[in-house]
Structure 1
Amino acid sequence: MITALIIAGGVGKRMGQDIPKQFIMVEDKPIIIYTLESFQKHPMIDRILVVCKKGWEDTLSAYAKEYHIDKLEWIIEGGNSGQESIRNGVDFLKAHSDKDDTVVIHDGIRPLVDEIVLSDVIVKCREFGNAVTSIPYNEQIFVKETEETTKQYINRETLRRVSTPQAYQFDKLAWAYEKAFKEGIGISESSYANTMMVDLGETLYFAVGSDKNIKLTTQDDLQLFKGYLRMKEE
């Protein structure tokens, strides 16, 4: 069984909107639905669980019915951070999953998920037990000496940009979140499943990524997303 665990519990203050950014309408469709449609259409995804911002569960359920997202089986309440939301999802799935199931974690505000990206992360996870979407880092990275100076850089050939989707074998994922929250490892506000796994000593495996798989955080990101949609239409 392959379950998509979609994280949609954020507020999105940097977007400058009055509603959570995952519910912003783009071309008369909420962002979260673009994301869910990618998983709905993918033949390897069996079911979807969304961890949603409190108070927006009914809205999401109504949108899912309107856009025929019938793989969406559950909507549960999110936590105070991304890590808490993922943990809520993992804890919920304990009653609905076998140990060798695959869980694909994805940000609800990454609506441009290519089928090949989803396929590769699932295949790699089945082979190695986990997989994280990644792409080469093409910019130069310098280390701050002071706020205004630097004299050290990092070889970009040693770097990868990792994002979602990420996939994990369920029993290892459940073990990791239980241990992490019990011992306070890898659960800071900026942590995610992948960084937590490394903090717990796990080895991660790279899967195929895409530059198009942007995270909609600012108004500039939103305009870029609209541009991709126009290109697709043309």
Structure 2
Amino acid sequence: MQKIAIITAGGSGARMGSPIPKQFLLLNEKPLLWYTIRAFLEAYHDISILLVLPKDYLSAGQELVNEMGIAHQTTLVVGGSTRFHSVQNGVQLIKNNAVVFVHDGVRCLITPHLIIRCFEQTIEKGSAIPAVTCTDSVRIINNQSHSAINRDQVKIIQTPQTFLSSILIPAFNQPYQSDFTDEATVVEASGESVHLIDGEYSNIKITRPADLLVANAILAERIK
């Protein structure tokens, strides 16, 4: 079955305090997006990439995929006003039955192993949503009070959120809702169930400057 990765890299990087979008920041002299894309290519060399970018950074994206030698299997997509609309812009380009990965472009430490596991579960169950168990103490606020909950029952959701196209495409035909925080919530709102899969604690999202330090340490450990 065809494999398609929608890599969402439409953010501005405001929380990084950077003049350029965080997906183009350098990690060991390469853009974060380089590592993200490479992981999908290492998992499946025949995968098609839909790279969602801010309009002003399409040329930078084209330069990157040209340097990686994957322009022939990459389509650049202009991001929308929200994550939902950015992913929707990519989903609308899918015409054939496929397994579709939707991945945060700045989760640059994703491993091919997780990508492959997501694909295999999606073939079996229709979806695969990576998640790890929360390791912090957690409290729920209810008006003026708050109470502790069992952290073993709290899952931190990651990407690539992976679906059969026959499930994902109809879900993104829905009107936008403000509580659509990820693809799983969109699919659930369409009436479909979603299925979790074990994620990876190293599969962090680069959001703040400190995250780059963590990513550097993880990368250094991997290349020893």
In 1, the alpha carbon distance for the partners of 2:217 and 2:93 equals 37
Amino acid at match of 2:173: E
Match status 1:38 vs 2:28: no
In 2, the alpha carbon distance for the partners of 1:119 and 1:167 equals 11
Question: Aligned with 2:172: secondary structure?
Answer: helix
Where do 1:65-214 residues align within 5 Å?
65-69=66-70, 72-93=73-94, 97-98=95-96, 100-145=97-142, 150=146, 152-179=147-174, 181=175, 184=176, 187-188=177-178, 191-214=181-204
Question: Aligned with 1:164: secondary structure?
Answer: coil
Amino acid at match of 2:9: A
In 1, the alpha carbon distance for the partners of 2:85 and 2:181 equals 10
In 1, the alpha carbon distance for the partners of 2:216 and 2:180 equals 27
In 2, the alpha carbon distance for the partners of 1:189 and 1:21 equals 25
> How far is the alpha carbon of 1:204 from its aligned partner?
1.0
Where does residue 223 of structure 1 map in the other structure? 213
In 1, the alpha carbon distance for the partners of 2:159 and 2:22 equals 17
> How far is the alpha carbon of 1:73 from its aligned partner?
2.1
In 2, the alpha carbon distance for the partners of 1:155 and 1:45 equals 42
Change over 3 Å in CA distance of 1:71–1:4 after alignment to 2: farther
Question: Aligned with 1:203: secondary structure?
Answer: coil
> How far is the alpha carbon of 1:227 from its aligned partner?
1.1
In 2, the alpha carbon distance for the partners of 1:72 and 1:219 equals 32
Q: Name stretches of at least 5 consecutive residues in structure 1 with no aligned partner.
A: none
In 2, the alpha carbon distance for the partners of 1:9 and 1:61 equals 14
In 1, the alpha carbon distance for the partners of 2:150 and 2:50 equals 39
Change over 3 Å in CA distance of 1:103–1:54 after alignment to 2: same
The answer (yes or no) to whether the contact 1:8–1:107 under 8 Å persists in 2 is yes
The answer (yes or no) to whether the contact 1:37–1:69 under 8 Å persists in 2 is no
Match status 1:63 vs 2:64: yes
Percent sequence identity over matched residues?
27
Question: Aligned with 1:167: secondary structure?
Answer: strand
**TM-score, normalised relative to structure 1:** 0.88
Aligned CA RMSD, in angstroms, stands at 1.8
In 1, the alpha carbon distance for the partners of 2:22 and 2:180 equals 18
Question: Aligned with 1:83: secondary structure?
Answer: helix
> How far is the alpha carbon of 1:173 from its aligned partner?
0.8
> How far is the alpha carbon of 1:53 from its aligned partner?
0.9
Instruction: Report how many aligned residue pairs link the two structures.
Output: 223
In 2, the alpha carbon distance for the partners of 1:224 and 1:23 equals 17
Question: Aligned with 2:130: secondary structure?
Answer: strand
Change over 3 Å in CA distance of 1:217–1:45 after alignment to 2: farther
Where does residue 27 of structure 2 map in the other structure? 26
> How far is the alpha carbon of 1:157 from its aligned partner?
2.6
The answer (yes or no) to whether the contact 1:130–1:169 under 8 Å persists in 2 is yes
Q: Name stretches of at least 5 consecutive residues in structure 2 with no aligned partner.
A: none
Where do 1:46-57 residues align within 5 Å?
46-57=47-58
- Structure 1 residue runs of 4 or more that deviate by more than 4 Å after TM superposition: none
Question: Aligned with 2:158: secondary structure?
Answer: strand
> How far is the alpha carbon of 1:71 from its aligned partner?
6.3
